[in-house]
Amino acid sequence: MKKIAFKTLGCRLNQYETDALASRFHTGSYQIVDFNDEADIYIVNTCTVTNQSDQKSRQTISQARKKKEDALVVVTGCMANNYKESLLESKAIDFVVDNERKASIYGIVEKHFRGEVADPEGFDKDVFNYEAAYKTFHTRSMIKIQDGCDNFCTFCIIPKVRGRATSRPAEEIYANIREVIQYGFKEIVLTGVNIGRYEDGDTDFEKLVENILEIPGDFRLRISSIEPDGFTHRFFELFAHPKLTPHLHLCLQSGAESVLLKMRRMYTAKQFRQMAEKLRSMYPDFNLTTDIIVGFPAESEAEFEQSVTMAKELSFSHIHTFKYSVRSGTRAERMSEQIGEKVKNQRSEVIRKLSEENKRNYYKSMVGKKQRMLVERIGGDGVARGYGENYIPIRLKAAGLVKNQFIDVEITGLHEAKELEVTAKVI
């Protein structure tokens, strides 16, 4: 039996696609091993969203090659689209497979081992041709509903590497979800590049979510990461449904109107604030997390301070900070006044600290409150770990706990570890 190892860099969508591939290889009688172990095939699903992701992707590729001289190294993901020519020249890589053909990797590998010429370009493009991953590395099941983006924010390379926005047919999504519920998954996470722009005939994003919530079964639905544009009141009302988790990763990027305009984002800081306040007024414990870019070209100290103020006032419980990095072919590449690394580091540190502080405050505010924990794993010490509906990491010590089970708990306090967690008791 051939051994195969996977490494994913970057976003949830990449993670979903790796999981689906791994599942396909598993049913096809391959043995999945850890990326640090020796394998016959290494699949590296790359990311190119920042300079750092490029570097990490390159390191991972050479790591794979070093592990085993004669292993088959397959590189896919956004870097494969963005730097296809240079990757094709690399001796460390056997196949470069673009995002549009990622789902064909199983076919490519099979063909290769049958001794046939396996040219990735000869496989059809299909960004949704992934089977439901029942054997994933997680207990949550991600469901891909959309790919690509037409927003062309001036800093972002994604529209170039993921292509134009396209939506998966709604019926396929419902079928996929029914299937993973049957497999026993208890949490469904919608994923895509810009899922708010979902559109399949008359089914827009809100309608899609409404219909998913009507699917019978003991599961909950998480929207996760979404761009804050074009929400109607209906969107906010959706969260009244007990199956929809009160958590959104709503990408702010900057708190300064001027910077948002230069980024060509689709909302103003004021509109963002109104959305956040509306969510909190309707659902007081609502958990908001976000992305902030620091050091966008010409970002002044005053503009950066506006991001800080907004992050404080809207109390995001987690802020993913990106130091702006030039991506070739984007409009921001041609903007004057690029900001130096030192300033970017300082600004990033300010936001990182604030994020820690906000997280602590949010978790504290949840002490004494109820959560429905989904047990994801149980350690050797008998401590179960999982997330509540508000996406708070919970540790729970109790008898008779089973993995992949919902359990009603009350949050009792904070637990200091590498990552801050909360403790809880069964109610």
Ligand X SMILES: Cc1cc2nc3c(=O)[nH]c(=O)nc-3n(C[C@H](O)[C@H](O)[C@H](O)COP(=O)(O)OP(=O)(O)OC[C@H]3O[C@@H](n4cnc5c(N)ncnc54)[C@H](O)[C@@H]3O)c2cc1C
* Sites of contact with other proteins (CB under 8 A): 150-152, 257-258, 261-262, 264, 266, 268, 270-271, 331
Identity of the residue, 22 or 157, whose beta carbon is nearer to ligand SF4 in the bound complex: 157
Place of tokens 């924990």: 373
Instruction: Write down the least CB distance from residue 75 to other proteins, Å.
Output: 22
Instruction: Write down the least CB distance from residue 335 to ligand X, Å.
Output: 6
**Separation of alpha carbons 323 and 343, rounded Å:** 10
Instruction: Write down the least CB distance from residue 331 to ligand SF4, Å.
Output: 11
Instruction: Write down the least CB distance from residue 329 to other proteins, Å.
Output: 9
Instruction: Write down the least CB distance from residue 247 to other proteins, Å.
Output: 25
**Separation of alpha carbons 424 and 413, rounded Å:** 7
Smallest Cα–Cα separation from 405: which of 390, 385, 424?
385
Phi, psi at 320, each rounded to 5°: -85, 110
Smallest Cα–Cα separation from 45: which of 84, 72, 76?
76
Instruction: Write down the least CB distance from residue 151 to ligand SF4, Å.
Output: 4
Q: Which does 261 bind (CB under 5 to 8 A by kind): ligand X, ligand SF4, other proteins, none?
A: other proteins
Q: Which does 99 bind (CB under 5 to 8 A by kind): ligand X, other proteins, ligand SF4, none?
A: none
Residues 378 to 417: which contact ligand X by CB under 6 A? none
**Separation of alpha carbons 83 and 414, rounded Å:** 45
Identity of the residue, 328 or 336, whose beta carbon is nearer to ligand X in the bound complex: 336
In order of 308, 354, 360, 373, the CA distances from 320 in angstroms are 13, 11, 15, 24
Identity of the residue, 40 or 147, whose beta carbon is nearer to ligand SF4 in the bound complex: 147
Identity of the residue, 12 or 262, whose beta carbon is nearer to ligand X in the bound complex: 262
Identity of the residue, 75 or 332, whose beta carbon is nearer to other proteins in the bound complex: 332
Quote the tokens at residue 210. 């409404």
Identity of the residue, 97 or 165, whose beta carbon is nearer to other proteins in the bound complex: 165
Whether residue 228 contacts residue 269, with contact meaning beta carbons closer than 8 Å, is answered with no
Q: Which does 410 bind (CB under 5 to 8 A by kind): other proteins, ligand X, ligand SF4, none?
A: none
Q: Which does 55 bind (CB under 5 to 8 A by kind): ligand SF4, ligand X, other proteins, none?
A: none
Which one-letter DSSP state was computed for residue 339?
Answer: P
**Separation of alpha carbons 388 and 160, rounded Å:** 36
Q: Which does 143 bind (CB under 5 to 8 A by kind): ligand SF4, ligand X, other proteins, none?
A: none
Q: How many residues bind ligand X (CB under 6 A)?
A: 2
Q: Which does 268 bind (CB under 5 to 8 A by kind): ligand SF4, other proteins, ligand X, none?
A: other proteins
Quote the tokens at residue 197. 């722009």
Residues 276 to 335: which contact ligand X by CB under 6 A? 334
Identity of the residue, 270 or 353, whose beta carbon is nearer to other proteins in the bound complex: 270
Whether residue 289 contacts residue 320, with contact meaning beta carbons closer than 8 Å, is answered with yes
For residue 136, count CB atoms less than 10 angstroms from its CB and return exposed for 0-12, middle for 13-18, buried for 19 or more.
buried
Identity of the residue, 257 or 285, whose beta carbon is nearer to other proteins in the bound complex: 257
Q: How many CA atoms lie within 13 A of 81 on its CB side?
A: 19
* One-letter-per-residue 3-state SS of 253-269: ECCCHHHHHHCCCCCCH
Identity of the residue, 211 or 258, whose beta carbon is nearer to other proteins in the bound complex: 258
DSSP of 273-320: HHHHHHHHHHSTT-EEEEEEEES-TT--HHHHHHHHHHHHHTT-SEEE
Instruction: Write down the least CB distance from residue 40 to ligand SF4, Å.
Output: 35
Whether residue 158 contacts residue 188, with contact meaning beta carbons closer than 8 Å, is answered with no
Instruction: Write down the least CB distance from residue 195 to other proteins, Å.
Output: 16
**Would you count residue 364 as binding ligand X (CB under 6 A)?**
no
Identity of the residue, 262 or 359, whose beta carbon is nearer to other proteins in the bound complex: 262
Which one-letter DSSP state was computed for residue 60?
Answer: H
Residues engaged in binding ligand SF4 (CB under 6 A): 149, 151-153, 156, 158-159, 193-194, 227
Instruction: Write down the least CB distance from residue 165 to other proteins, Å.
Output: 10
Instruction: Write down the least CB distance from residue 13 to other proteins, Å.
Output: 21
Smallest Cα–Cα separation from 393: which of 368, 425, 363?
363
Residues that bind ligand X (CB under 6 A): 334, 336
